[in-house]
Amino acid sequence: MRGLQLSLNQTQKLRLQRALDQLESLSSKANSNASVAVADTIPVNYEDCVLKGHGTLELDGEVVATLCGVVERVNKLVYVRTLRARYKPETGDIIVGRVTEIAPKRWRLDINFSQDAVLMLSSMNLPDGIQRRRTAVDELNMRSIFEENDIVCAEVRGFQHDGSLHLQARSQKYGKLERGQVLTISPYLVKRRKQHLHYLEEFGVDLILGCNGFIWVGEHVEAKGTLIEDQTDKAEQLNTKSSSSTFMSLEEQERTYTSLETRQNICRIANAVRVLANLGFSVTVEVIKETVYLSSSLNLDIHEMLGSEFYVLVAEGEATRKSMFTKKKG
């Protein structure tokens, strides 16, 4: 919770500090054998011909840690995995990015990495799932798919021979994200899991926990079968919109705008993510739901979730949950 500025009274400070100390003691017990600090000695068996990896150094015949983190062992390889670090892409990661540039046959996206990622036109689905070569018409229609500042969900394909990071969106679950908001948190708070795209049915909201630290909270939309439109279809749509924009019916307006209840749910879930991230807690769909339910049970308004008392209550609840889990595990 570095950088967190809260106006806490003396009682709230004591309660918050007690909860954080309890969480720290529980985490240190769980990782007492694996956690290391800088200059700590890592116990290894030299008879196994150990390979020294990232975050390690041989000094005076001993393997010493050069980073703070957790010791990981893969066969003979020993390395230190840092707990707090910048996003490091891995093949298959689900990410949320923002389009920064439209280049020939590709889009460039900001994904909270040291360099922009590349999404090739050939890595997008064509209408009706047709597999064919992209033509000049497809390239002319690129702006009808994604424009600058559009929010996009994609999957990491991997690094190419030229050193650039490539993405792919060859599925209906990927594509442009609308009617919601994107949050930026530290990437280490999002743990890699089997599922990063969630539909919270009770709220009517889609939640995407991007491995790169970009979190999307938006209105639920059904997967669309077409991602690329023909140039003639787009021209017809533009003509139809321009001619009927002044005569839009009430039913069309209702379909265009997000309902008030859904917008409130989006804001409530987004504030839950902000609270968890500011406290330094891992952001998972289960913990987010618990935080939202807690705010609803206390009859708090959405803006009151960012108040000092709610931060303290969330920290106390997380400490209680972790202690109960540790007792059951033990």
Domain positions in the chain are 33-82, 94-233
pTM: 0.79
pLDDT of residue 198: 95
* pLDDT < 50 positions in the chain: 225-248
Q: Domain spanning 94-233: which superfamily?
A: Nucleic acid-binding proteins (2.40.50.140)
What is the predicted pLDDT for the residue at 223?
A: 63
The correct answer on CATH 1.10.3210.50 for the domain covering 33-82 is no
What is the torsional sign of CA 194, 129, 106, 236? negative
pLDDT of residue 130: 66
What pLDDT shows up at residue 40? 86
pLDDT, position 94: 95
Instruction: State the burial class of residue 297 (Cβ atoms within 10 Å of its Cβ: 0-12, 13-18, 19+).
Output: exposed
Report pLDDT for 249: 54
The pLDDT assigned to 273 comes to 96
**What is the reported pLDDT for 33?**
54
Rounded-to-integer distance, Cα 96 and Cα 116, Å: 12
- Gyration radius (Cα) of the chain, Å: 24
pLDDT value of residue 168 = 93
CATH topology match: 33-82 vs 94-233? yes
pLDDT at 228: 37
pLDDT, residue 49, reads 78
Contact by Cβ (8 Å): 277, 305: no
